[in-house]
Structure 1
C-alpha cells in the first residue's frame, strides 16, 4: 500500500529552490536526480531524508543543504547546522544528543542536543565536516540514523525518537578514508540514501564563477553607494580563488576598502569608485600574491578580453570606452545566462537599450547563433 502524500504541494522546481538560497550551480544532471529522489522519499513514504555532500571548503555545501531542506520540506522549517570539526571531543555527544544534569564535569542542568531540536519531520540537521567526529560519537550517530532513536549522555534508559532529515557534508573523500580504515563503511551507508553529491570547486563552475563575481560585486558595491570600473569585474573573472566563495567575498570587500581610502584622500568620501588601481593594490598584497589565474576559453565576440588572463599584474591594455562597455555587457550576459531582463536590471539600463547595444556589437544568444 502506497502511503499518503506527506506534502500536499506541487513538485518543486529545482532552479527556483536553488536560486532561493543563492546556490549558483546546476550540476551535471546528477543533482537533479538526487533532489527528486529525495522528494519522492518524503512525499510517498514515512522515511526522512539522508544525503551526503562532498566538496572543498567554501564551495557552498551549507547553501545546498538548505536548498535540499526547502526542496523536500516545502516550507521554511528549522535548519540546524553543526560543524563537527568545532565540537569539543569531551562534550561532542552532549552537543549532538543532549545530556542530563551532571552527565559530565561542569554540566549544571538539562541540555538539549541538536538531534532533539531537529527531531521533527519538518526539520533538517546539517552535519558539516562529519568525518571529523570522534569514533565513539560516530557509533552513536550510526544508531541514530539506523534505528531513528538516540539517548542522551547520562540518561541511557530514556530512548528518544528522531524523525528529522540529515544532510551530512565532508571536505575530504570518505571513500579514501574508508580505504585507509579511518572511517567506517557501515556509517557511510547510513549517511546517504542516494548518490553522494560532489560540489566542484568555485573556479571549476564557470557559470557560477561569472555570476557570483558580477552579482556579488554589484550587490556589495552598489549597496555601499560605490561606482566601479567595468574592467575590474573582467579582472575578477580571471582570478582563481582557492578559498572559493569566502575568498571572493574577502577580495571584493578589500577592493571596496581601498576605494573608500582613495575617496577619503581625495577629500570626498561620498564618491568612492572601485578602480583597476585598487585591484592592482589588493592583488599585490601577500594574501593574494600566489593565487593563480583561470585560462578561459575564448568567447565568440567582436571584442576580446581587455585583461590578460595570464598576467593580472600587467598594465591594463589601452581600449576605447565603447570596447570597455561592450566587454562588460558581454560578461554580464554570460554570467546571467543571457537573461536580458536580469542583465538590463544589473546594468541599470532599459531592456530596449540593451537590445540596441547587443545588435550594434553583434551579440546573440549562443543557441541562436
Structure 2
C-alpha cells in the first residue's frame, strides 16, 4: 500500500507550460507530483502505482477528460479526480460532479483556489485513513468472533494473527481440511490496514485450470471464444484489500509462474490485453498439502513457495486441541438451535464426553455438521448420545466394552482379583500407581501380587514412570 504520509498527485494536461506551472506551485514537502501530457500516460502511471489525486484537463489529444475520469473511477476508485477546462459551463460542471469528480475548475486557474481544493481533498483522505486505523485497532482487541477456544494451541494462532495483521507481507496458512484456514485469513484481513478494502477468495481446487487464469487476471472482450465482454479478475476486484488463494497447491505450474511474476513486479495484464495493471493486494494463501514435498516432486515452484511463505501460520487439527470441543460444540448448538427454533439447552454428560473423546478427522467442520444433525434429531431439551451419529455411538460402545471385565460364574475370588487387576493395568498403560488409585488399593500390593503371579516385570517401563 502507498506511504500514508506521502500524498501522490498526478497532473494531466497537453499544455507543457500549464504542467510546469502547476507542478511548481503545488510542490510541498510530503507531496510527490507526476506530470504527463496524455490520457494513455496517465493510465500507465495509475497502473504502476497508487495515486491519491488526479488533476486532469478535459481536452486531451487522445481521450476526452470525462472518459478518462470514467476509466479511473471504474479501475482505480481510490483515486480522487479534479477536472479543469478553459471551456467551462455550468452544465459541464454539473455533469462532471455527477460522474464522480471531486471538483471542477475553469482556466485560467486561480492557484490559490486550486490549492484550497487540493488541500481539502487531501485532508479528507487523511481523516478517512485515521478513522480506518481507529476501527482496525478497536476490532483488533477481539481478533475474530468466529475463532473459538481457549486452548494453548488456539491462543498461539490468535497471537500470530495479531502480530502479522498490521504488516503487508504474504502469509501461508497450513492446516488439514476443516480446521478453519479461511476464518484465519478473514481474521488477518479484518485486523489489517486493508480492513476497509475487499476480501476476495479464490478456491484454486474448485476452478478448472482453463478458467483459473481468467478468474485471477480477468480478460478483454474477444480474448477467447465466449469472451463477449471485458471481465475484471480477482486481482483487480481485490484492489486495496486482500486476495485469499485457497488450496494454492492445486495450481498448475503455468498459473504458478504468472502469479509469481505478478508478486515480483506488482503488475499484471488481463488475458488478451496489453496494458499493465497494478496489483495493489495483500496475498494470503492456504494449503492442506505438504508443499515442500510437492516441490521435491516438481509440482510446485520453489521460488513461488518462498514468495508466499514469508510467514507460515499452522492451524492445529481439532484432535490437538480437544479442550476447545465443549466451547465449539455449545456455540454450534446455540446457532443451530436458534435457526431450527428449538429450545435445546445443552448436552448430556455422556454425549459431551463422547464428543471430547472422538479424534475428529474432519476437524471443526465435521463437529459443526454433527451438532447440526444432532439438533435436528434431538427430541427434547438436551442432546444425548442417541442423537449423535452411529459411528460415534459404536465407538462409545467399543470403549465401554474395552473397560469391562467379564467374569464367568463360579470363578474364585483370587482369580477374579487377578483378572480385575490385570485388566485395570492394561487400561492405564500399566502405570501401577494409577491402577492402584482406581482399584482403591496400594501400589505396593499390586507389585506384591504381580511378583506372586510370576509377572513382576509386567509393564516395566511404565512401572518406572509410575
- TM-score normalised to structure 2 length: 0.52
Tell me by how many angstroms 1:204 deviates.
1.0
Structure 2 vs 1, CA of residues 171 and 180 (structure 1 numbering), >3 Å: closer, same or farther? same
Cα distance in structure 2, aligned partners of 1:277 and 1:38 = 41
Q: Does 1:209 align with 2:209?
A: no
Q: Does 1:230 align with 2:339?
A: no
Cα distance in structure 2, aligned partners of 1:205 and 1:154 = 49
After superposition, residues 57-206 of structure 1 pair within 5 angstroms as 57-73=177-193, 75-120=195-240, 123-155=241-273, 157-194=274-311, 196-206=312-322
Structure 2 vs 1, CA of residues 75 and 204 (structure 1 numbering), >3 Å: closer, same or farther? same
Q: Does 1:20 align with 2:145?
A: yes
Q: Is the 8 A contact 1:124 1:166 kept in 2?
A: yes
User: Which runs of no fewer than 5 residues in structure 2 stay unpaired?
Assistant: 6-125, 405-466
Q: Does 1:244 align with 2:350?
A: no
CA deviation string 1:66-94 (max 9, x = no partner): 00001212635321111000111112110
Query: Which residue number in structure 1 is paired with residue 386 of structure 2?
Result: 278
Cα distance in structure 1, aligned partners of 2:203 and 2:160 = 27
Cα distance in structure 1, aligned partners of 2:326 and 2:225 = 51
Query: Which residue number in structure 2 is paired with residue 358 of structure 1?
Result: none
Cα distance in structure 2, aligned partners of 1:127 and 1:105 = 26
Cα distance in structure 2, aligned partners of 1:31 and 1:253 = 26
Structure 2 vs 1, CA of residues 58 and 160 (structure 1 numbering), >3 Å: closer, same or farther? same
Q: Is the 8 A contact 1:149 1:160 kept in 2?
A: yes
Aligned residue for 1:138, secondary structure, equals helix
Q: Is the 8 A contact 1:129 1:169 kept in 2?
A: yes
Structure 2 vs 1, CA of residues 12 and 230 (structure 1 numbering), >3 Å: closer, same or farther? farther
CA deviation string 1:216-236 (max 9, x = no partner): 223323553233443233332
Structure number having the greater helix percentage: 2
**Alignment length (residue pairs):** 273
Query: Which residue number in structure 1 is paired with residue 163 of structure 2?
Result: 36
Q: Does 1:221 align with 2:327?
A: no
Structure 2 vs 1, CA of residues 145 and 246 (structure 1 numbering), >3 Å: closer, same or farther? same
Q: Is the 8 A contact 1:131 1:183 kept in 2?
A: yes
After superposition, residues 281-296 of structure 1 pair within 5 angstroms as 282-284=388-390
Tell me by how many angstroms 1:134 deviates.
1.2
CA deviation string 1:93-140 (max 9, x = no partner): 1001101112222222111111010122xx111100011011111111
Cα distance in structure 2, aligned partners of 1:89 and 1:74 = 29
Tell me by how many angstroms 1:4 deviates.
5.1
Q: Is the 8 A contact 1:50 1:167 kept in 2?
A: yes
Cα distance in structure 2, aligned partners of 1:174 and 1:187 = 11
Cα distance in structure 2, aligned partners of 1:129 and 1:219 = 28
Cα distance in structure 2, aligned partners of 1:138 and 1:93 = 10
Cα distance in structure 1, aligned partners of 2:190 and 2:203 = 20
Aligned residue for 2:202, secondary structure, equals strand
CA deviation string 1:28-47 (max 9, x = no partner): 747635642451x3xxxxxx
**CA RMSD in angstroms, aligned pairs only:** 3.2
Cα distance in structure 2, aligned partners of 1:97 and 1:312 = 59
Q: Is the 8 A contact 1:151 1:160 kept in 2?
A: yes
Aligned residue for 2:192, secondary structure, equals helix
- TM-score normalised to structure 1 length: 0.65
Aligned residue for 1:81, secondary structure, equals strand
Cα distance in structure 2, aligned partners of 1:14 and 1:78 = 16
Aligned residue for 2:245, secondary structure, equals strand
Moved more, 14-23 or 160-169: 14-23
